[in-house]
Structure 1
């Protein structure tokens, strides 16, 4: 009798454990596939520096990155994103690469132009190449899309941003993986003692850029790991996005401030777990 009762109790516990495990897996899958990828987070930060000119005090800079359109991120979501961006009323908008996941497989890239064109930024809209923008024969099509959307594409180049006769500098590196990056051409001729914002798709290039007179580097690429395990961290990170995965880092003796944006879309697998999609809003403070 006791043996039978013990076996029956064991089977009940095993059944409950199996059901509980199955429900947990189903919930985890549903959350990572359908819920978290749509939980857009707006992160707001203040950036202080003695190099920031007084007229730039309070200027708002918005960064968005890694939409990967075509891989479970569509034009409708991009339209909603643009509405959110315009609601925040940024002065300057920066896109740090990977617009379309697979340019050679996306059927209607022209539909993105009127959407991106709606973004309003009084001090300008600027973009750089990501590895997916060069991949899939996308180099020229990405250039056309961004320029027709009123974005200025920075490719190993820099430009002054001027307010009331004072300037900061914005520099953009060609993609480190699939482009032809040139740090010296991008950063070597910027006037000394100028506040410089450096756009580079892959965050790990900060190990090179920190040796130049750059105060702030904005990057994407890593997706914050896209799937993170609590207390462990990201399962997989991409090349040149392994050391700096998300958020702020201080690098070098100067130091360089690096911010890694988690991006908006997904790639390879359509999941996000403990790595919500993000747009970043930075407010400059003259210190």
Structure 2
């Protein structure tokens, strides 16, 4: 039987959510921060299953894992995999489906948590603190700005309209017709940032979108506006965001993605009072996990049968 490692199984649930009986599977709950530790743990594995982008697979990683034949990632794309290096080392890379509903739901949890000050109010409630100390912001009648109107952004637009919000959207190739189909108005990026009470990021990270929201863009936002990013951290200049939050140039930020994960202890995002953050939970739901690991096993079975499926080229 081939040996299979399941990496970054933080909750320790992977082996119970699918039938791994055709391989000798080992789950690792701890995140390997050093390459030497990673290689020592999985050097003899022919198959590795990774969760999203938690552990990058670079050319150096592939070079040090000569036994590796199949790499499976949850989701249909993974920017942390060097696909050219995988091909050069004869490693097949496959993916799985990933639902768009869970990240939409978490994004709205962050928006509601920020605007209604749920964290400070809940903390005060549990610590016998003041009974009501904040005044919540409204969504009805306010403007939701969506940077990106794809699978997730379009769902965001529907829910924004249900809250009674005016929804505006921008992306590089978005058309007015597509925006209208989703219940949004197409505006320029600068107009979106200036008009919106909540700006939510739903773009794919690429060379064009990396650093898309920087110091200049943040300066266009209203002082009472919130920025929410559940997409990819690098789309927003992290240092510029910290500066804007510290100076109160925007009201706050809801964050689920970070350039280094797990986020180092003592990082500003862990301490700023106007940040509501979660540890990259957007896709972490029971249904999504069941899909990930069931389809990972399907990928393994197909590979063993000599006909790989869901191959990422």
TM-score by length of 1: 0.34
The higher-RCO structure (CA 8 Å, 6+ apart) is: 1
Higher share in strand: 1
TM-score by length of 2: 0.32
